[in-house]
Amino acid sequence: MKAICFYFQVHQPYRLRQYRFFDIGKNHNYFDDFANRTILRKVADKCYLPTNKLMLDLIEKYGSKFKIAFSLSGTVMTQFKEYAPEVIESFRKLADTGCVEFLAETYAHSMSSLKSETEFKRQVESQVAMVQELFGKTPTIFRNTELIYSDDISDMVAAMGYKAQLSEGAKHIMGWRSPNYLYTSASSPQLKLLLKNFTLSDDIAFRFSNQGWEEWPLTTEKFVGWLNALNPSEEIVNLFMDYETFGEHQWKETGIFDFLRKLPEQVFENSDFQFLTPAEVVDQFQPISPMHVRYPISWADEERDLTAWLGNEMQNEAFDRLYQLEEKMKNVSDPKLRHDWNLLQTSDHFYYQCTKWFSDGDVHKYFNPYESPYDAFINFMNVLADFKLEVDKHLADQKSSSGNIHEEIEQLEAKIKELKDLKVP
């Protein structure tokens, strides 16, 4: 038997409000609560709730034959709790079936893996704790933000005890090799790698409604025919995509829900593929070779690299300035500052600053609140300037408070000594 591994990324950022230069030092509320609530509710109604209901229907119809996997960022889970608790309940129903696997990732959907092993590990632990709290599951497979992967990152993931990591089957890395096998990290061989088949994944995620596409309309019969046409020796087809594909990127009117509803039946009746979760793929298949990735790759844009987030001077400046605060944040105890620190690391803030407005422009405009990447940069840097002032003020207050406590202790100790020296008549 061959395997289809269906994995979906679920994420929404906390978008920043319009923050002017003149707000610095005066207003410490950085996030647009109205926009975040409105967008989350919109996507919940168009995507999360109807797609979760459809997935539950498919599992009830086919039982353990139909299996899927999710990774949910901490920011989207927190927004579910705030704005749409019924979405959490719908994911719980899926979790209770035993046919759904939840993966680990960073809480803030951040790029901390590129900057700090300590911060990276802290965020992963926070996201995993939230998955355990909400769904009663403990992830054993890791998925980094935007499938960002390198040998160095795999070493950190392996050290945290994960069995496998998801990544992109990028052409410039794969060469003649196929993504349709299990691989291992070249530097940490105990870590298995599941690689996205970007052609078949993107046929659903990006090309499904494109009437200019030569393969439009995409039917389940056609898609399963492509699966059957693969080299007979190839074992696994990893279909990785944003969950918002269903109902948001591809609207209901395109027929995307009908396609998803009919796909399992077509697979079972006309192919020798089975649906497995990532953990099951790791358990049932043997890796064929190590994969060496010296420079980070991702699943974004045509280049499959980091240029969507760190491709210009603005992005790099903002990214470096943000992580210059890491050492200070280790001493910050204020819950609001800690929460803001998490949310400011979300990769979307840097994505909005991207200047690649060519073949990938439509992707970069998705729920983008800015008219230009320059506006996104200025807004972020204004927020970051105020945040730094607040962090410095908090640390100064902590130091002053700590100094006062030490003075009081010294005074009390002197008083005790004085009393001990008194001669009782």
Active site positions, annotated: 146
Residue for token pair 């795999």: 154
Distances (CA, A) of 399 to 30, 56, 93, 204, 247: 26, 53, 48, 55, 52
How many residues are there in the chain? 425
Q: How far apart are CA 118 and CA 123, in angstroms?
A: 9
Neighbours of 133 (CB within 10 A): 9
Q: How far apart are CA 204 and CA 220, in angstroms?
A: 11
Q: How far apart are CA 421 and CA 299, in angstroms?
A: 74
Q: How far apart are CA 19 and CA 38, in angstroms?
A: 19
Q: How far apart are CA 351 and CA 136, in angstroms?
A: 32
Q: Which of 163, 152, 161, 234 is nearest to 192 (CA)?
A: 163
* 10 phi and psi angles, rounded to 5 deg: -120, 115
Neighbours of 370 (CB within 10 A): 18
